[in-house]
Structure 1
Amino acid sequence: MKPIVKIEPHQRRCSIDGSTTALASMLITLNANQYIMSATIKTAHTLRVQYDFRYIEFQQILTIITATGVNYKNGFFQRLKYQLYSDADLQARDNLKITPFCCDKVAIRRENL
């Protein structure tokens, strides 16, 4: 029997800057995507996105953000953070492909020999 794997969606933050109408259209576009569970603006310039990492990458979310006319911070440390987000998504996707090596094997006992 295979163990049940519970997949939690990833939650990421991004600093954004744009007009009120551009932010509203960005939220509508992000929430309309089937792989994004929720997109909210918590503080004045912080976007919080919860998405399914199996089907969409964080770089694709950044592309959607720029396509709607909203800018995101793109400094050195932000680029480093975005790269870590992308690497974590890739690592999680790769981990789902690995089959467990110990959970489905029957232990050999001395009394059964």
Structure 2
Amino acid sequence: MKPTVIIEPHQRRCYVDGSTTALESMLLALNANQYIISATIKAAHKLRVKYDFRYIEFQQVLAIIAIAGVDYKDGFFQHLKYQLYTDADLQARDNLNITPFCCDKVAIRRENL
């Protein structure tokens, strides 16, 4: 029997800065995208984005933010965090293509005996 795979959307966050009208237009553009489940701004300009990683990458979300005219925090550590998000999306997409092996049997190694 093939085990069922539950696909959870990825939830990411980044800090954005811009005028209130630019932030509102950015939220409208993000929520209008069919692969973005939700986009909300919490306190202190913290943007939370929940999206389906199978169809969209975090770098594309950042591109939508930049097109809307909103600046996102892009320092050294934020750049590393965004790269980690992108790598996690890629790895999760690659893992969906792997057929799982039999889960109920545990391999016994000789060195463990």
TM-score w.r.t. length of structure 2: 0.89
Answer whether contact 1:22 1:70 (CA < 8 A) is retained.
yes
Which SS does the other structure have where 1:101 is aligned? coil
Aligned length: 105
Structure 2 equivalent of residue 85 of structure 1: 85
Considering only CA atoms, is the larger Rg found in Structure 1 or Structure 2? 1
Q: Deviations over 1:21-51 (max 9, x none)?
A: 0000000000010100000001121100000
Q: Which amino acid aligns with 1:6?
A: I
Q: Which runs of 5+ in 1 are unaligned?
A: 106-113
Q: Which amino acid aligns with 1:16?
A: V
Structure 1 equivalent of residue 99 of structure 2: 99
CA distance in 1 between counterparts of 2:60 and 2:46 reads 18
CA distance in 2 between counterparts of 1:58 and 1:45 reads 18
RMSD: 1.3
CA distance in 2 between counterparts of 1:45 and 1:37 reads 19
Identity %: 80
Structure 1 equivalent of residue 10 of structure 2: 10
TM-score w.r.t. length of structure 1: 0.89
Answer whether contact 1:2 1:104 (CA < 8 A) is retained.
no
Which SS does the other structure have where 1:54 is aligned? coil
Q: Which runs of 5+ in 2 are unaligned?
A: 106-113
Greater shift after overlay, 10-19 or 94-103?
A: 94-103
Which portions of structure 1, spanning 4 or more consecutive aligned residues, are displaced by more than 3 angstroms? none
CA distance in 2 between counterparts of 1:2 and 1:27 reads 40
CA distance in 2 between counterparts of 1:26 and 1:84 reads 23
